[in-house]
Amino acid sequence: MTTGEIIEANIERDAVLEANSTLRHEIARRRTFAIISHPDAGKTTLTEKLLLYAGAVELAGAVRGRKTQRHATSDWMAMERDRGISITSTALQFDYQGYRLNLLDTPGHQDFSEDTYRTLMAVDCAIMVLDAAKGIEPQTLKLFEVCRMRHIPILTFINKLDHAECDPFSLLDEIERVLTIGATPLNWPIGSGSLFQGVYDLPGQQVLRFERSSHGQNRVPVYAAALDDPSLSEILGARAYQQLRDSVELLDGAGSPFDMQRFLAGDLTPVFFGSALNNFGVEPFLQALLHLAPPPGPRESNRGAIDPASEDFSGFVFKIQANMDPLHRDCMAFVRVCSGRFTRDMQVFHPRLGRMIRMARPHRLFASERTTIDEAFPGDVVGFTNPGVFAIGDTVCSGIPLHYAAVPRFAPECFARLTNPQVSRYKQFSKGLGQLEAEGVIQIFYTTDRARREPIIAAVGELQFEVVQARLQAEYGVETRLERMPHTMVRWVIASDAVRETLTWPLQIMPATDQEDRLVVLCISEWDRAYCERVNPQARFELQPHGIG
């Protein structure tokens, strides 16, 4: 090699090393997590307060409160603000103390559990919010099981300590008994109910006493002191101070130490106490989150585990959302970056389409707000304007083609016939339904004996029907009528054309087709489904449409 070639080779080698060093640094400072809970446990309020303490918002909104208070940042949809519930998952990216956080706020209501499940596929960690007065509630348990199945580490925030008297030891026991997981407290409440004053940081051995602020919209002043500070008895009150000392002594003697490896394996949850509404314990919890939550790790694909520090970019679509911006009325695909460095306008392979595509107009997401970006790293959630190229579950990659696990659909349990009385609005009606199905809000079927102008919509929960009608009205200007049906399940029929001609349908069975003209049957009960399969042994009846075509 000539001297010039050696110099050029060294420069290229150094550039590769520097790029790899930058990639690893960016991965190490990412924290991508979801917040899960039963409705009304305070999930959205905690989301707001994390944004407040990270400096991402100046004033925190509240789910319920005075009319003068601002709305929660994560609840950007009109129906969410009207009803005070989270309907769709939201991505919020912000920086704090040198870390880049990707927070995915999820719906708490069980009717939107499919959206929550898809979101949990895109995170490395989860925060489980519990109501101190109610403990483990049904939806919390379901979402915890999803996290367990996906080996997602969980931090627990026991909320609303200021609402009711509670026994912290009983709450820890309930977590361990019901969830069969270790629970190690990393702080301890000072009082509860109206006497709740703050928390004791167990690892830091420091009392943190908080003062209430105006409606909890601003950061609260904190008084910090060691447990043996002689002034604490007067500041906290003699009884509260003695109870705290007794509890700390008991935890020192009988409590189980925190084990990072057990936490990362999903066998133990660190527990924090506080009040999101009044900001008590929020900032210490945010600090702990930075150091406990893991950075992005390897992700399984058809080619094995993919290292996030791989030179090749890869990611997958876990969510589709239309009309986030009323001024543009476009559709956004949410992509979780899994490996490599993404750069604006890069060419990537789309395995489902079998061709290369250009990843144009990438956006950093903060609820409904968006900002164009030039690059992204593993752990980031990037929004791409979707002109019909992306579907939920799609993988995109550079280098050797790969694909990540498919995102499953939940089996619908609620069915209704939806009609559009305004013939002149049929185009908008059809477009809106198509978009809602692409988002995974509903599935659409058509009976074989009626026109496609009268679709049957199917959903996991009844509340999704209200969302469909509200969004068709607000986003597409279409008034609709809904007629609920008695059916509770759907099965895709796998049979040749010749066999289909021989199939017979019992009285309670309704044959129909999906959006791709695949044959399905709607059943009222499990008995009807079993009977239908019994009288048609020449066909297969599947819960999912995979492989049918």
Q: What is the pLDDT of residues 280-295, one digit of tens each?
A: 999 999 999 999 999 9
Number of domains in the chain: 3
Structure tokens at 104: 């995915």
pLDDT at 503: 94
| 374/468 same-domain check | no
pLDDT tens digits, 504-541 = 999 889 999 998 899 999 999 999 999 999 999 999 99
Tell me what pLDDT residue 64 has: 38
**Residues 458 and 370 grouped into a single domain:** no
Q: What is the pLDDT of residue 131?
A: 95
**Claim to verify: residue 339 and residue 281 sit in the same structural domain:** no
Instruction: Kindly state whether residues 283 and 305 are assigned to the same domain.
Output: no
- Cα-based angle 96, 97, 101 (whole degrees, multiple of 5): 35
Whole-number pLDDT of residue 52 = 92
Task: Please check whether residue 511 is in contact with residue 549, taking contact to mean a CB–CB distance below 8 angstroms.
Answer: no
User: In whole angstroms, how far apart are CA 542 and each of 117, 193, 489, 545?
Assistant: 21, 51, 11, 7
Does a structural domain hold residue 421?
Answer: yes
Q: CA geometry: angle at 186 spanning 142 and 262, to 5°?
A: 60
Domain with residue 353: its CATH number is: 3.40.50.300
Residues 312, 261, single domain; the answer is no
Residue 65 pLDDT: 39
373 and 475 in a common domain: no
pLDDT of residue 206: 93
Count of positions (residues) in the chain: 549
Q: Is residue 403 in a domain? A: no
Dihedral (C-alpha) 69, 73, 74, 77: value to the nearest 10 degrees?
A: 70
Helix H or strand E encompassing 148: helix 138-149
d(CA 308, CA 269): 25
- What local confidence, expressed as pLDDT, does residue 547 receive? 46
Residue partners of 401: CB distance under 8 A and separation at least 6: 349, 351
| 399 neighbors 312 (Cβ within 8 angstroms) | yes
Question: What pLDDT does 352 receive?
Answer: 95
3-state secondary structure (DSSP) of residue 470: helix
Both tokens of 376, joined, read 């992204």
Counting other chains too, the contacts that 74-78 makes at CB distance below 8 Å and 24 or more residues apart are: 74/44, 74/47, 74/48, 74/105, 74/367, 75/44, 76/324, 76/367, 76/368, 78/470, 78/474
The CATH number of residue 495's host domain is 3.30.70.3280
pLDDT in tens, 112-138: 788 888 999 999 999 999 999 999 999
pTM: 0.86
Low-confidence ranges of the chain (pLDDT < 50): 62-71, 547-549
Domain that holds residue 349: 299-397
CA angle 77, 79, 81 (to 5 degrees): 75
Task: Give the pLDDT confidence score for residue 112 in this predicted structure.
Answer: 77
In a domain, 20, yes or no: no
Residue 496 neighbours by CB under 8 Å, 6+ apart: none
Q: Are 526 and 499 in contact (CB under 8 A)?
A: no
Verify that 246 and 377 share a domain, yes or no.
no
